[in-house]
Amino acid sequence: MYLEDFTLASEDQEFRFFLHQKSRAYSDYYPFQLFPAKQVPTLQFAPITILYGDNGSGKSTLLNVIAEKLGLQRGALYNRSSFFETYLDLCDYTMHVPLPEKSAIITSDEIFNHMLDLRALNQGIDVKREETFKDYLNHKFGDFQYHDLADYDELKKTLETRRKTQSRYTREHLQKNVTERSNGESAMQFFAERIQDNQLYLLDEPENSLSPARQQDLVQLLTDSTRFFGCQFIIASHSPLVLALPEAKVYDLDTVPVTTKHWYELPEVRVYADFFRQNQDKFQ
């Protein structure tokens, strides 16, 4: 374990902050005023800790506050407010071991950007492949004639096309194509390559873009990374499959005060359970 606990700014600290505000020109003091009403305790972390809550519950903000306080790497921009640094100064945490240097927060934006980059790369390679096909045909069946040394490169290409098949010529002249994957496959591959041994990772709704089957693959990856490879995870999620991670500690940000619960006690999980219970005859 790397991060042992984290304490947000208290209600008294926020009150004193506003008491000393000389200007009332700001309409948004984010992330101030977000957590006091929720009565968030000092969060005590486990090897896997999950922050559960509906949209707008503050789980992503809480992840970003922790990430910025610790100075974690991030692969996508985060829109910080004018008062973010002031808020961070009021937060505190406990860590008795050095923070691993590759520790990071991984957000949905970073995964989405990764998938867009893969698509752009594949599209570029596809265009280049078509150009290479045409180049092969033009040299193999064209009426090229050698005149002088200036034509030497063209002569080499012409002779090469006459002794090679189109597929071999294209393969040798084109960089190897990146395998085209679905969004879920690309996202899963991203996690497999991004998560290294002995690191602290904050994951913001990692189930996005993943089918239930892929979510189970992710759960296995996170379980193995924790159990065998020295990782610690703090995850914001409302996926039942992720919430059911073995031995995960789950904080319910929809309750006041915020408290821990078993995954099967959470309202969103019970919605799924009720749905399948009502339709259980269809699976027999």
pLDDT tens track for 37-95: 999 999 999 999 999 998 888 999 999 999 999 999 998 777 778 889 999 999 999 99
Are 103 and 196 spatial neighbours (Cβ–Cβ below 8 Å)? no
pLDDT tens track for 241-270: 999 999 999 999 999 999 999 999 999 899
pTM (2 decimals)?
Answer: 0.76
The architecture (CATH level 2) of 5-108+185-276 comes to 3-Layer(aba) Sandwich (3.40)
Instruction: Give start-end residues of each CATH 3.40.50 domain in the chain.
Output: 5-108+185-276
pLDDT tens track for 189-207: 888 888 999 999 999 999 9
Cα distances (angstroms) measured from residue 253 to each of 59, 121, 186: 7, 40, 30
d(CA 17, CA 69) in angstroms, rounded, equals 18
pLDDT tens track for 111-156: 777 666 655 545 555 566 667 767 777 776 777 666 676 767 777 7
Residue matched to tokens 């259980």: 280
